[in-house]
Amino acid sequence: MTESKKKSLGILAIAGVEPYQEQPGEEYMSPGQIAHFTKILQAWRNQLREEVERTVHHMQDEAANFPDPVDRASQEEEFSLELRNRDRERRLIKKIEKTLSKIEEEDFGFCESCGVEIGVRRLEARPTADLCIDCKTLAEIKERQMQG
């Protein structure tokens, strides 16, 4: 699979897993669900780390002192954009590691605000989610009101 194709895939595809099929009567955050999300988070973290490493090598390989100021400015802008993207990815890696710690502490999958189950489908869409959809919606409304 090409890198560009892999980058465009969703989190589940990156991890090589299918959407979780809950069994009748299965308890929320059962060992099977925990293993499912651990695999997703670890694969996502590994993919992001590879991207960061690739950027470092790319910047080292491409770093050149162009005599033309336009070429130099273009390269600096490209590097600046790449560094911003990698910084965002580094923050995401930290959030993934925090989520993996929550799994180890058996505190994963529950809303940090109200304590209800976040839900398997929401967690598959955003494995680092720490708020249920209702609390997240309220937080976004409050944020918009504070800005406006």
- Is 111 marked as a binding-site residue? yes
The alpha carbon of 82 is separated from its chain's Cα centroid by a whole number of angstroms, namely 17
Q: What are the structure tokens assigned to 44, written together?
A: 């996502």
* b/e sequence 124-137, b meaning 16+ C-beta within 10 Å: beebbbbbbeebbe
- Is 62 marked as a binding-site residue? no
SS3 label, residue 117: strand
- Is 132 marked as a binding-site residue? yes
- Is 79 marked as a binding-site residue? no
The alpha carbon of 93 is separated from its chain's Cα centroid by a whole number of angstroms, namely 7
Annotated binding site for Zn(2+): 111, 114, 132, 135
List, as residue ranges, the binding site: 111, 114, 132, 135
